[in-house]
């Protein structure tokens, strides 16, 4: 199975044989790959009916769940990794969900669209309108994204909450990574990918 670049990067960060919980797992593409290629024991949480059916057809363990309800019923350290791709910006309390992720899992992996990408900046500066771009394709009134942030915003949130950044990658919407994105991630990266853990007490 060939994965797009961002999911392949995430897969590389997962140790074989790990316990994984995929938050907002979609149709289960990543989870299925991790089970087949990394021998993980995995579960997905998903709200969309069609995605749940797709996961079940792939014989994946999936539970219908609204992440805005929190993860209170999961015990601490129940998983090695919690993964949340392109979902953080769509939940009501992203800071709380990050803390819960790192309570439940040894590490968290998060991806989100970078609102400071040069195209978004240009749209605001020149047009005076909320950006619509390849990474942010919806209009302001129908977007599922309610907490847009930049790479700098996210890293500041991590510092404030004692979250350690273990790895970071940035890609464009075609999921490619370039050297220029590594040099100026907040300006040139369209999608940010982070591997996180809780700072030791």
Long-range contacts of 92-97 (CB under 8 A, 24+ apart): 92/68, 92/146, 92/147, 93/68, 94/147, 94/149, 94/157, 95/157, 95/161, 96/70, 97/23, 97/67, 97/70, 97/71
Model confidence pLDDT, tens digit, residues 62-95: 999 999 999 999 999 999 999 999 888 889 999 9
What's the pLDDT score for residue 138?
A: 67
Q: Between 133 and 97, name the one with better pLDDT.
A: 97
| 1 pLDDT higher than 60 | no
Q: Which residue stretches of the chain are H helix?
A: 5-13, 29-38, 49-57, 94-104, 118-122, 151-160, 179-183, 185-188
- Model pLDDT for residues 9-47, shown as the tens digit of each residue: 899 999 999 999 999 999 999 999 999 999 999 999 999
pLDDT score, position 5: 75
33 versus 145: the higher-pLDDT residue is 33
Higher-confidence position of 6 and 201: 6
- Average confidence score pLDDT of the chain: 88
Burial class (CB in 10 A: 0-12, 13-18, 19+), 145: middle
- Return the biggest CA–CA distance within the chain: 50
What domains, with CATH codes, occur in the chain? 5-198 (3.40.50.150)
Q: What is the pLDDT of residue 119?
A: 77
DSSP secondary structure letter of residue 180: H
Phi-psi region of 128 (alpha: psi -120 to 50; beta: other; left: phi over 0): left
Q: What is the mean pLDDT of residues 85-113?
A: 93
Pick 174 or 196 by higher pLDDT. 196
**Verdict on whether the full-model pTM lies above 0.85:** yes
Q: Scan for tokens 């791709």, then name that residue.
A: 85
Task: For CA atoms 193, 166, 32, 175, give the dihedral sign.
Answer: positive
């Amino acid at each position: 199975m060939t994965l797009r670049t961002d999911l392949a990067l995430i897969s590389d960060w997962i140790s074989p044989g790990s316990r994984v919980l995929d938050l907002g797992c979609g149709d289960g593409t990543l989870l299925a790959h991790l089970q087949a290629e990394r021998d993980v024991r995995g579960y997905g949480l998903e709200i969309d009916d069609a995605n749940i059916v797709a996961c079940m057809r792939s014989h994946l363990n999936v539970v219908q769940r609204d992440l805005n309800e929190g993860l209170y019923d999961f015990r601490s350290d129940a998983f090695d990794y919690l993964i949340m791709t392109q979902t953080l910006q769509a939940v009501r309390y992203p800071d709380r969900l990050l803390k819960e992720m790192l309570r439940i899992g040894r590490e968290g992996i998060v991806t989100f669209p970078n609102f400071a990408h040069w195209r978004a900046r240009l749209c605001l500066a020149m047009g005076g309108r909320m950006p619509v771009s390849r990474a942010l394709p919806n209009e302001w009134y129908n977007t599922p994204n309610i907490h847009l942030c930049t790479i700098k915003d996210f890293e500041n949130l991590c510092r404030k909450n004692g979250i350690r950044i273990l790895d970071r990658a940035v890609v464009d919407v075609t999921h490619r990574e370039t050297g220029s994105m590594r040099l100026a991630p907040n300006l040139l990266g369209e999608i940010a990918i982070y591997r996180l853990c809780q700072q030791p007490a």
